[in-house]
Structure 1
């Protein structure tokens, strides 16, 4: 399971902590005031979260505020050097990261390239016919047809789009940053290949220039110290956001001039229109729509039924994606074109999408006395969201079934289940791993006394002993051909490997280094995991190995001492990913696994969800009942988020190279010897009220940072070390570029956001709102208070595909104790995958989380994600099947397709 399942609980406690932390302690990451408005787009027009935006004026260039002067930021970005090259950094952190010398180029902003006005519906050349079969390239699965890394093949999702396009060198806080570029996955009347994915990847424009390494706040004498400059930058950021909120109403430009000759009546009419303008009007009923079959695709066309009484031009924006997995586009006149996913086309059903109509393109005007609130920063949007400029409509369409829809998956598609070592291995009779940070954390008396952790691994499902029987169930009962598992770092190396120096012999891990590591490894555990992998293969299951699934050896991360020392800003030697030595040790560990298990494993996941722990670990006060779960080290130091992420990015890059260097054997004939990626949890944030610019701003900020930071770093080579969302020369690192063979996507649900207009928490600029939770009593809400949203699954997969790498769904699942919500969840989410694959998106596999109910980290055993339950009180560690869920997923895997009977049962019926 993932840290991100918990982030929806960040909410009000985070807000309360924010300002007090900054003022009282004076710390945080530099430039913590990053704000969508800083890029030049007004809050009213900033809608990355909203899928496609069109209007009668010039949709490619909405009115915007002044851009931030790069020179005005230099005083706030003075940073020290932190060596980026993957080298031996095993000395104490207080010594090797204490440089105070500012960088000479750290504040040089990349000038965006001049933009051309994009066409509203660019035509693309048809997909070329595939050439004759060729041998797959090294590092690619059999059958892959991919270009070299320098020129990644763009996903061939067919669509038309009239959303604005942005240049790859542009400030990433622009519209292309998260959603608009790929948001136009719309139904096609003629097949058109999207050509805008390259812009979405934001490839560095100055990759050939020698650059300094990512840097952290300059006044820190050691990595975990407080930065006194943060109080200044934080307060400056608040002021900056307020100024932008004041200027936002004027971003639309001057009022439109009077129409006709300047007579008294004309002027009076003009005054009425400008001061007493009418809000866009939603018709009482949705105008009739029609369904047709175009090139074998079901297409529904109609009009959203929103008009402007004053005749002002309007922008129409679709929020996110249609709820039940379809795709839609709305043109400048409010006409929509909708295509259902294949599963719904085959059996019929209903879908819904939300459209926002905005009349601000008409220039500055006021919607009556209440509209004057738009000139009151922040508070005005809380009282009268949008100032009367916006109107929202949810359009519901019914789809009539058609025959002949292809519901199959490609041959060789990977169907899998997953669990992690710490979560599933423990149980009665299991030799416990007492050397991990999480073992120490769950047994910490302070945590247990306050109820900050619930459950211990001793009560787990015992996969350490039961692995062979689990493999048999996965293959024979579930119909899987892949099993994702983790190898516990602390089991393999219970003692430090710092004595193995990999900086000699030109750097990197050598054979002599591996032999030295082998002498330090626990050989019983090495053989145990070889037995586990052999069992999976014997049962016809392809192993996918996660190198680390959150847990770290206690010699890498001692949570007890880290909590005490780092909270007060003192140096801590074993501080996990805050320590500069950890990427080096991780490189050794990854190389060792590749060397030992390369003949059994072809598919590798380096890191599981690197981004979410910045909330659960560094914004985690020891308060019982806190909405933020308490993960080790459980401190309130959000200013350390960037340090944590940059070190993980360094670790991933080093591990990627090490695995490719030492896994040179194809475990399965025809597969690459090593196919390496990381698992990226993605939560599409949506504005809770699409009419409210504050909610839109909060959702946009979340989407840009939470979903994209790590892919930007290790695919595009943009390491946003200062967390300001602006690509500068010192942040572009060619040595980080294209360090994945596939991008793992982990998705559980979406998150509505209520914005408050400011980044209240220093060091975490993307948290500008409160995630809104749903009630588990709702059939569309998980037991973890998260909305189930197949459309959100499509959204994040389209965004992930925009990076031009193959995708692998490494986790997807739902907490559902009653097993009533899981079967429809499975069916409809897998139906989204089938539709995307059928329309050209390169998705290699689908992995359900989880195989068995297990220890959900600090939350204990209360959340049930498994296809099986577990009774640890039985000697056999008995597995309790959940029949409806097992029936649903095994029917799909057995047919390698979506069975009609299953769709008829679980696809939402016509309303």
Structure 2
């Protein structure tokens, strides 16, 4: 399961306690603020002043008509610069902000094709005409940032793999990576003041009021009334009826009007929030006319979808909506007391679809289907050798953690995949219809002791054959042979291994969480601090190279890291009993940037190493090494779409949480100071284009309630807290996370904008009685099918998880598996969940969407 599934535990109490702890420790990165002249609009809720023109796409899988995406707009956030891992005397203050097209966009935007077509009307003389006809057009496109090769280039010569000679450094005044930094405390206060100032100036961003058209006294009085007691947008009683039709391409579209008017004739802007809930697409023009297209599955069997639009008159010059409207001039607090200031309303539109015949519901012949688990979560159980050398083993067995209830469950009670892999492979292939099995190799099993003695600096930071032989001498050969046997069994049963090199766990010689916890919390040197330590990236490079060298003849598909961003919350905001505690379990949000930058360095080094040392094609087709990274992506939406604080919170989350890592390893922008501003010294060409694919891991979406500032130093992405749902609701998981297929479309469109092939490497739901999972699977796969049919380069879908397993600090309570497990039985019995298995296998064996399933599960 993704660490990101635990993110929603960060609520109001977490923030309050986190602020207190941060102030007490004296650490901090500045308040994230936004420029008053360019208020952000959520990535999930954009309004644009013009529609993108078509762009000729490259690549054989690109859509015929593809919207051109400008480079990602960067938010003008002012944050302090987190601390460096070393070389405190060499501090570069980036002065030159890169001037390119990104600076012309609104901050924090990653435009999608759907939202780019939602046009803001700038001509004040033009009255919205709800009678205007809407010419149906294809509303959804797969957007691309830049032309990228679709498949990895040929592997380099098998000699050495050199990493970057000048890795990014986090600017700070720290003498060592885990120290506190006075520099961050100073800028914290400065940026807090800046945040308030920007909030004060925000109401003036719309420009001067429109001048009166009648210079007479009565005309001036009417003008004063209009500007001080302006009417808010209101619903139209009888909007245009919706009309369903077919486009020339055979797609079903529904046209209509949002049905909002302004009593004073102010120009309205329309902003679609996220995506339609059940997986469709929609565009809204400047007059409020919309074109909605259902996903193919709904077009085939009919159904109902909804989408939400925020409608505002705020951009039509400075004006006030009565006495309460004056609160908008009170920074931040005014938005709490009177959200939206009377400028807008949000409206949810329901669309009913009549089924049509002849919809193609198939997927390409080479589309891959898989299931997944990870080593620490699933390997343990009766008969499996216990791996005591990982940080997570130490963490879940620590007496204090267990006494305080910070952890539940131990791997010894797990499903025993270490010994049941052959039987699991049979089930995955024969019962589930899979052709891929995603798994991880435990670093601490291969190298239970340090590999630091293998020096790769003697050849300019390159790995040689001699280095790999030296590593081979240090490896646990029994474990090396075990994983070779696992891969052989998978292939014997028609399954391609998809290997995650590091799925969170680290060897205890890299990260000793029990020893490091008090040292990191107190700002003292911690020699085994995991990804906070300078040397971890180099050790990870050796490990990745060794696996590629050893298993390249059995493995073609590699993921370097699993969800590199999401642990910043559970590891560095580990408030007991509020936020899940992951090792090292400290409250040090100021260390987040160091953690991320070191992982980016490690990924780039591992990518180069794998591409160098895996030169053998294990499967029938494809490259010898197809290397990527898996990203937990959670689309945030404003809880109140007309409240600017909620919009800012969603924008900040989407930019950092969903964008930081792909920005680093695809575009080469390593935001070392965590401020969201791209500067020349943060662009590293040797970090660009360091993935062959992006793995997308999606579980659900996240409404955000905004604060107006980022209260936790070091967490500029957390400008609010998530709103959770009740597990009793049909669209809510047992983890209290809202589930909606539209969120999967949203993150896949964002990921596709980086121009790389995609693979859904995790998608699933915690559902202990198997009542919600079948519908979840069918509707989320339906989104994937629709995107692929309309040109998205998505290579495969992997369900998480194959079997219920240890969900990290949460123990065994959350059940994501297609099978349950009974470790008490000698054969480690797999207990099938029939409804979910029937739904997923019905899709995989058909390599498409059976109509009978859609009729049962499409809403």
Cα shift at 1:502:
0.8
Which structure 2 residues correspond to residues 106-145 of structure 1 after superposition, within 5 A? 106-113=93-100
The answer (yes or no) to whether the contact 1:182–1:197 under 8 Å persists in 2 is: no
The answer (yes or no) to whether the contact 1:420–1:486 under 8 Å persists in 2 is: yes
1:817 match: secondary structure: coil
Q: C-alpha distance in 2, partners of 1:403/1:102?
A: 64
Cα shift at 1:437:
0.3
Q: C-alpha distance in 2, partners of 1:530/1:215?
A: 38
Which structure 2 residues correspond to residues 470-869 of structure 1 after superposition, within 5 A? 470-621=424-575, 623=576, 625-626=577-578, 628-869=579-820
- For residue 211 of structure 2, the aligned residue among 257, 260, 266 is 257
Q: Deviations over 1:549-604 (max 9, x none)?
A: 00000000000111021110111111100011100000000000000000000000
Q: Deviations over 1:43-100 (max 9, x none)?
A: xx633330444599xxxxxxxxxx97x9x99xx65976x6xxxxxxxxxxxxxx2432
The answer (yes or no) to whether the contact 2:635–2:701 under 8 Å persists in 1 is: yes
Does residue 38 of structure 2 align to residue 41 of structure 1? yes
1:361 match: secondary structure: coil
2:348 match: secondary structure: strand
Q: 2:304: which partner in 1?
A: 350
Cα shift at 1:643:
0.4
> TM-score, with normalisation over the residues of structure 1?
0.86
The answer (yes or no) to whether the contact 1:55–1:331 under 8 Å persists in 2 is: no
Q: 2:230: which partner in 1?
A: 277
- For residue 439 of structure 1, the aligned residue among 393, 417, 439 is 393
Q: C-alpha distance in 2, partners of 1:904/1:285?
A: 32
Q: Quickly say closer, same or farther: Cα 1:771–1:381, change in 2 above 3 A.
A: same
Q: Quickly say closer, same or farther: Cα 1:52–1:34, change in 2 above 3 A.
A: same
Q: Which runs of 5+ in 2 are unaligned?
A: 52-74, 119-133, 149-163
Q: C-alpha distance in 2, partners of 1:188/1:714?
A: 40
Q: 1:288: which partner in 2?
A: 241
Q: C-alpha distance in 2, partners of 1:734/1:486?
A: 29
Q: C-alpha distance in 1, partners of 2:643/2:199?
A: 13
Does residue 384 of structure 2 align to residue 430 of structure 1? yes
Q: Deviations over 1:705-730 (max 9, x none)?
A: 00000000000000001000000111
Q: Deviations over 1:801-848 (max 9, x none)?
A: 000000000000000001010000000000000000000000000000
Q: Deviations over 1:424-464 (max 9, x none)?
A: 00001211100000000000000000000000001000000
Q: 2:16: which partner in 1?
A: 16
Q: 1:99: which partner in 2?
A: 88
Q: Quickly say closer, same or farther: Cα 1:400–1:194, change in 2 above 3 A.
A: closer
1:708 match: secondary structure: helix
The answer (yes or no) to whether the contact 1:175–1:181 under 8 Å persists in 2 is: no
Q: Quickly say closer, same or farther: Cα 1:439–1:606, change in 2 above 3 A.
A: same
The 10-residue stretch of structure 1 (715-724 or 213-222) with the greater mean CA deviation from structure 2 = 213-222
Q: Quickly say closer, same or farther: Cα 1:520–1:657, change in 2 above 3 A.
A: same
The answer (yes or no) to whether the contact 2:374–2:439 under 8 Å persists in 1 is: yes
Q: Deviations over 1:718-746 (max 9, x none)?
A: 00010000001111000100000000000
The answer (yes or no) to whether the contact 2:139–2:291 under 8 Å persists in 1 is: no
Q: C-alpha distance in 2, partners of 1:691/1:433?
A: 52
The answer (yes or no) to whether the contact 1:182–1:799 under 8 Å persists in 2 is: no
Cα shift at 1:183:
3.5
Q: 2:65: which partner in 1?
A: none
Q: How many residues align?
A: 806
The answer (yes or no) to whether the contact 1:200–1:802 under 8 Å persists in 2 is: no
Q: Quickly say closer, same or farther: Cα 1:321–1:271, change in 2 above 3 A.
A: same
Q: 1:6: which partner in 2?
A: 6
RMSD: 2.2
Which structure 2 residues correspond to residues 169-208 of structure 1 after superposition, within 5 A? 170=103, 174-175=106-107, 177-180=109-112, 183-184=115-116, 189=136, 197-198=144-145
The answer (yes or no) to whether the contact 2:113–2:141 under 8 Å persists in 1 is: no
Cα shift at 1:536:
0.4
Q: Quickly say closer, same or farther: Cα 1:464–1:316, change in 2 above 3 A.
A: same
2:799 match: secondary structure: strand
Does residue 850 of structure 2 align to residue 899 of structure 1? yes
Q: Quickly say closer, same or farther: Cα 1:326–1:193, change in 2 above 3 A.
A: closer
The answer (yes or no) to whether the contact 1:51–1:321 under 8 Å persists in 2 is: no
The 10-residue stretch of structure 1 (46-55 or 822-831) with the greater mean CA deviation from structure 2 = 46-55
Q: C-alpha distance in 1, partners of 2:795/2:274?
A: 24
Q: 1:882: which partner in 2?
A: 833
The answer (yes or no) to whether the contact 2:169–2:672 under 8 Å persists in 1 is: yes
> TM-score, with normalisation over the residues of structure 2?
0.91
Cα shift at 1:218:
2.5
1:604 match: secondary structure: strand
- For residue 251 of structure 2, the aligned residue among 297, 316, 319 is 297
Q: 1:315: which partner in 2?
A: 269
- For residue 419 of structure 2, the aligned residue among 443, 465, 472 is 465
The answer (yes or no) to whether the contact 2:50–2:117 under 8 Å persists in 1 is: no
Q: Deviations over 1:212-231 (max 9, x none)?
A: 65332422110100001222
- For residue 350 of structure 2, the aligned residue among 382, 385, 396 is 396
Q: C-alpha distance in 1, partners of 2:637/2:390?
A: 37
Q: Quickly say closer, same or farther: Cα 1:712–1:280, change in 2 above 3 A.
A: same
Q: Which runs of 5+ in 1 are unaligned?
A: 57-66, 83-96, 114-166, 202-209
Q: 2:176: which partner in 1?
A: 222
Q: C-alpha distance in 1, partners of 2:442/2:621?
A: 29
Q: Deviations over 1:260-287 (max 9, x none)?
A: x301121111111101100001124553
